[in-house]
Amino acid sequence: MFIDLVSAKNWFDRLPARYRYPTLDPEYIYIESKQRKLRQSVFYLKEHAGQFYYLSGYLTKSKEGFIDFETPRGYGGLLSNISNLELLKNYQSECEHAFLSKGVLCGFIRNTPLLNNYNALLVESWFDRYTVSIDLNIPDLLPSYKTRARTAIRKALKSGVLVKRAESDEQWQSFALLYSQRMKELGATDEYLYDNSYFHDISKLIGSKLYLAYLHDELVSGCIILESGSYAEYHLSASTKIGMVYASTQACIHIAATESQKNGVQFMHLGGGLSNSDEDALMFFKSGFSDRKHDFVITGWIFDTSKYADLKRKYVQQGKAVNRIIFYR
């Protein structure tokens, strides 16, 4: 059944640490849903005899009136401890009917690489790209990085880069400005753009931490880390050109990883690159911190197969592209 935000949050916070991934937190999903007027956060949960099936994200209604389900940017998907295949099929069928009852046409799910949770979704899924994580169970992190990352971090610290954790709203807003400026420089799509209210909301999220790098008292980079349970997620980051020269982002990641380690977090997920290319610069940057690679898998769940097929056929006849799950908006 569908439950409200407070009920979902209370349930999520009681889960064992191995299930509490930061971007599956109901409050995080609610914050993400607020970024678009047409979004409505939604939390589905079936729980019985210690077994659970939880799917969360947001619903969006298109201009044509079609409703779809989507997990937020980052990583989400199904959270379940069910191992029996027949029981899993039954729970999935009930979930599908619940979404159909809301008039939902289809779903686009970005699964969580560290959880491999796509395995429990018995619908079409496909590999998108690799991601990287740091094993925080290693006592001394710096020697575990590749030479290029170690060298960059030492260069930053030797050059006077100082990394601090943000403690005020003003610092969060300073990072919001830096992030916005960097996204404009990159010509980023709307998916990567956030208004000031988002940074205010995310700063209040339990487990949300902002690390800022300064050089001669000037803000040169920063990154937001989301912690929950056994995991930390490298969420948003930005740097000035000077910050790049002095490897301040590498220093931020290292300090953040060290602090998460002290908090008992076991793994920090850095995400992947902008593509699956071997030449992807962002993936090369992140892989300097670890050899731990994970599959990022996306899933398309068609709730109303007949209506979806008819709509897709109509779009093809009109010469419109249908190469995405949510092709109609």
* Span 136-188, pLDDT tens digits: 999 999 999 999 999 999 999 999 999 999 999 999 999 999 999 998 888 87
Q: Same domain, yes or no, for 76 and 115?
A: yes
271 domain residue, yes or no: no
Return the structure tokens found at 117: 């949770």
Q: Same domain, yes or no, for 6 and 105?
A: yes
Cα angle 223, 30, 328 (rounded to 5 degrees) comes to: 100
The mean pLDDT value for 33-54 works out to 94
The mean pLDDT value for 255-280 works out to 94
Q: In the listed set 245, 265, 285, which residue is the last one of a domain according to the structure?
A: 265
Considering Cα of 18, then 132, then 193, then 37, what sign does the dihedral take? negative
Q: What is the CA radius of gyration of the chain?
A: 21
322 domain residue, yes or no: no
β-strand partners of 106: 68, 302
Q: Same domain, yes or no, for 22 and 112?
A: yes
For residue 208, how far is the Cα from the chain centroid? Answer: 13
Q: Same domain, yes or no, for 113 and 218?
A: no
Kindly report the three-state secondary structure assignment for every residue of the chain: CEECHHHHHHHHHCCCHHHCCHHHCHHHHHHHHCCCCCEEEEEEEEEECCEEEEEEEEEEECCCCCEEEECCCCCECEEECCCCHHHHHHHHHHHHHHHHHCCEEEEEEEECCCCCHHHHCCCCEEEEEEEEEEECCCCCCHHHCCHHHHHHHHHHHHCCCEEEECCCHHHHHHHHHHHHHHHHHHCCCHHHCCCHHHHHHHHHCCCEEEEEEEECCEEEEEEEEEEECCEEEEEEEEECHHHHHCCHHHHHHHHHHHHHHHCCCCEEEEEECCCCCCCCHHHHHHHCCCCEEEEEEEEEEECCHHHHHHHHHHHHHCCCCCCCCCCCC
Single-letter code of the amino acid located at 16: P
Q: Same domain, yes or no, for 109 and 80?
A: yes
Q: Same domain, yes or no, for 247 and 305?
A: no
Identify which of 306, 329, 325, 327 has the alpha carbon closest to the alpha carbon of residue 123.
325
213 domain residue, yes or no: yes
Q: Could you report the per-residue pLDDT of 222-252, keeping only the tens digit for each?
A: 999 999 999 999 999 999 999 999 999 999 9
325 domain residue, yes or no: no
13 domain residue, yes or no: yes
Q: Same domain, yes or no, for 111 and 197?
A: no
Q: What is the pLDDT of residue 63?
A: 87
Q: What is the pLDDT of residue 276?
A: 85
d(CA 185, CA 183): 5
The mean pLDDT value for 207-215 works out to 98
* Structural domain count of the chain: 2
Return the structure tokens found at 250: 């590498």
Q: Same domain, yes or no, for 145 and 123?
A: no
Q: What is the pLDDT of residue 253?
A: 98
Q: Could you tell me how many residues make up the chain? A: 329
Neighbours of 174 (CB within 10 A): 17
d(CA 111, CA 53): 15
Q: What is the CATH number for 104?
A: 3.40.630.30
β-strand partners of 126: 298
Q: Same domain, yes or no, for 20 and 116?
A: yes
209 domain residue, yes or no: yes
Q: What is the pLDDT of residue 246?
A: 96
310 domain residue, yes or no: yes
Task: Label residue 95 left, alpha or beta by phi (over 0 means left) and psi (-120 to 50 means alpha).
Answer: alpha
Q: What is the pLDDT of residue 70?
A: 96
Q: Same domain, yes or no, for 117 and 144?
A: no
20: containing domain: 2-128+297-317
The mean pLDDT value for 272-301 works out to 94
Q: What is the pLDDT of residue 97?
A: 97
pTM of the model: 0.94
Q: Same domain, yes or no, for 154 and 114?
A: no
CB 69 within 8 A of CB 63: no
167 domain residue, yes or no: yes
Q: Same domain, yes or no, for 75 and 44?
A: yes
